[in-house]
Amino acid sequence: MTTVVSNGNDALNLLFEAAQREEREVNGARVPVPIEQHATNAASTPLSSVANLSSNMLPDLSNELTDTWNAYRFVRMGWLSAPEIVWFFKNVAPLCPILDEFYAEWSNHYLLVTHEPVLTCMILVISSRYHTLPTIGGHSRGYLIHQRLWDHFQHLLMRLVLGLEKYSKAKTRTLGTIEALLLLTDWHPRALYAPPPSDGWDSDILFTVKDRRDQDGSTVDSPSRTRWREDVIEPANRSDRMCWMVLSCALSLGNELGIFDEQDEHDSANTRLAQCERRVAQHKTWLAKLLYVYQEQLSSRLGRRSMMTPSNSHSAVCSDTSQAGSDIQRRAWTPFLTAWTRLTKIVRSISDLLFPNPTTTSQIIRSGRYISMTEHIQTLLTAWSKDHDDTLCHTASDTYLGSLLVLEYESTRMHTYSLGLQAILFRTLAESSSAVSGSASFQLTPTDFAHVQEVINSTLNTLKIAIKLYDLGFLRFCTIRTFLHITTASIFLLKGLGLGVSPARLQGALEVLTQVIVALKNSNPDDLHLGGRYSMLLEMHMTRLQEHFVPSTRPQNITPPNFDLSRFPGLAASLEANHFELVDLQQVPEIDTSDENWLSLPLDSNLMSFSMDNFQGLQCLGDGTLDFIWNLGM
């Protein structure tokens, strides 16, 4: 009160001193929680970091940890403070099996900062997008920090690709770099959702963009369809291209570092080996299996050949990941990764058998051979479920791990039976005298009807899992793969319902879809995220789609499929533990064979656009994916 205020700076200094005193009083009133305790708690389970997201206070650091991070270049440049950067690490959601608990311990942060610059930068890139700093201006600063970190990561990636290694202990060609590249395929930077910036060579832009003077007038799209492509399709395509190249880089680096080399079992079991050497050997085995799963999943979905040689694939699949040592988090992920690896082999079989190329897929559908192939794949899925029954029951106690495994399984089933949808359209258009007949009905055989119901059941189970993840607070931090499963499921659901459905089942399915739209709208880190953009577009057209279902003739001699859950005891346990009852047993009623009412979309090849371009591999998000929505009412 006695301080003389002679100018504006004196007034600001007084306010600053008062704020500092108030902050010290608030901090003194609460019991400080050391970061060491945060690190110990974070390593307890794979989901503990997510559970601790409610904490919005910066951690108190030990002197040693403060000195470590104060030496970090971005702290010295003033981008972040040491407590803020450790807060980022504490709140990174470990919702994938890539990282272990080694760097979650504060005592190992020195090794992370000094030896793994690429991994350190990538973790901060991800966390700075998905979390907001609990400080004044944290939201705006987060955007700037995220972009600067992403720019630096691109610089490190360029050094890696061009082999520009520095003479220092901070190397870019390490196992941690492979982990960073895998993390990049699961969580994308914000810059990926926008076209690249100008590179100074855009003088010919007038002649490269679409122009009304182009001869091909059919390329001019409606505003709705153009927005769908710009908001969802193009970012998804950029994501696929980036993931393909990043995984190629990770595989090349893995070959260079020898992660696919056969290890001597005697040496691996030798207890006299140094702890560091044993960890490196286990680390290589784990990364080899992860690279196999990631690249097989992506190449199968895109309809491409595997990037791995048969020898490397065999080495990765047959490697033993059961020796997880004392790593609690990795031991929890081991049974999941084993089951996921085998399911990935089935996905590759589906891609090779059913989706080798559009021409072959069309021939398989028209000849009817897809029926026997689907039965064969269902046999493989049944055997997988029985063999991994213990894994599914074990992961049932862990909501997120159980949900991940069920999502992967349901997605595989959905794509397996999806050819039945295409077969119905082919048969109907061939047998109909007029391809555009609003009163005609789709020609459903009992087998194809069962396939459609399997697709609808799988999609609804997937969407209910998404709703559950949203209720638990996990969906916001899920990987891009999870959102692609949800998006694909919603598209196949709409297509399956459009072939014919009872009013009660249609209403129940649309209610589930409405809940998913709400979940996606509220589970994105920013307005550029795929989930939020897709949900907004889908919501715009939901009402119009529902209004265009018209009464049609119920196909004869069809009955609802009897989905025998006893074939999948582990899946049943996981669904029950997570409260995921089968959709046709609760919210969405079974088709009532006594109900003569039957609805479908109008029989029009433009409205029901199952273009074979969308059946290239297991990819669903194509330019014509939702043409049947855009064309309604035109």
User: What's the confidence (pLDDT) of residue 209?
Assistant: 61
Instruction: Examine residue 327 and state whether it is found in any structural domain, yes or no.
Output: no
268 phi/psi in degrees, rounded to 5 = -65, -35
**How far is CA 561 from its chain centroid?**
30
Instruction: Examine residue 188 and state whether it is found in any structural domain, yes or no.
Output: yes
- Provide the pLDDT confidence category of residue 51 given band limits of 50, 70 and 90: very low
Instruction: Examine residue 147 and state whether it is found in any structural domain, yes or no.
Output: yes
User: What's the confidence (pLDDT) of residue 116?
Assistant: 93
Lowest mean pLDDT among 224-238, 342-356, 387-401, 450-464: 387-401
Q: Is the pLDDT of residue 454 over 80?
A: yes
Instruction: Examine residue 92 and state whether it is found in any structural domain, yes or no.
Output: yes
551 phi/psi in degrees, rounded to 5 = -60, 140
CA distances from 271 to 57, 276, 326, 370 (A): 43, 12, 14, 52
Mean pLDDT, the chain, integer: 76
Lowest mean pLDDT among 457-461, 519-523, 573-577, 583-587: 583-587
Give me the mean pLDDT over the 310-321 stretch. Answer: 86
Give me the mean pLDDT over the 156-161 stretch. Answer: 95
Instruction: Examine residue 413 and state whether it is found in any structural domain, yes or no.
Output: yes
User: What's the confidence (pLDDT) of residue 577?
Assistant: 52
CB 484 within 8 A of CB 233: no
pLDDT in tens, 132-147: 877 788 888 889 999 9
- End-to-end Cα separation, the chain, in angstroms: 73
Instruction: Examine residue 14 and state whether it is found in any structural domain, yes or no.
Output: no
User: What's the confidence (pLDDT) of residue 394?
Assistant: 58
Instruction: Examine residue 208 and state whether it is found in any structural domain, yes or no.
Output: no
Q: Which residue is it, tokens 């079992």?
A: 265
Would you call 619 helix, strand, or coil by DSSP?
coil
Instruction: Examine residue 600 and state whether it is found in any structural domain, yes or no.
Output: yes
Burial class (CB in 10 A: 0-12, 13-18, 19+), 280: middle
Domain boundary among 138, 162, 193: 193
pLDDT in tens, 240-286: 999 999 999 999 999 999 999 887 655 555 555 677 888 888 899 99
Domain boundary among 178, 193, 208: 193
Q: Is the pLDDT of residue 40 over 50?
A: no
Q: Cα(10)–Cα(195) distance, rounded to whole angstroms?
A: 47
> Where are the strands (E) in 212-276, listed by range?
none
| Max Cα-Cα span within the chain | 96
The residues near 319 (Cβ < 8 Å, ≥ 6 apart) are 285, 288, 289
- What domain count does the chain have? 2
Which H or E run contains 484?
helix 480-498
Q: Which domain holds residue 85?
A: 35-193
Q: Give one word for 92, left, alpha or beta, with left for phi > 0 and alpha for psi -120 to 50.
A: beta
Q: Give one word for 502, left, alpha or beta, with left for phi > 0 and alpha for psi -120 to 50.
A: beta
Q: Is the pLDDT of residue 95 over 80?
A: no
Domain boundary among 145, 161, 193: 193
Q: Give one word for 579, left, alpha or beta, with left for phi > 0 and alpha for psi -120 to 50.
A: left
CA distances from 283 to 100, 322, 344 (A): 9, 12, 21
Q: Is the pLDDT of residue 589 over 60?
A: no
Q: Quote the tokens at residue 373.
A: 């192939």
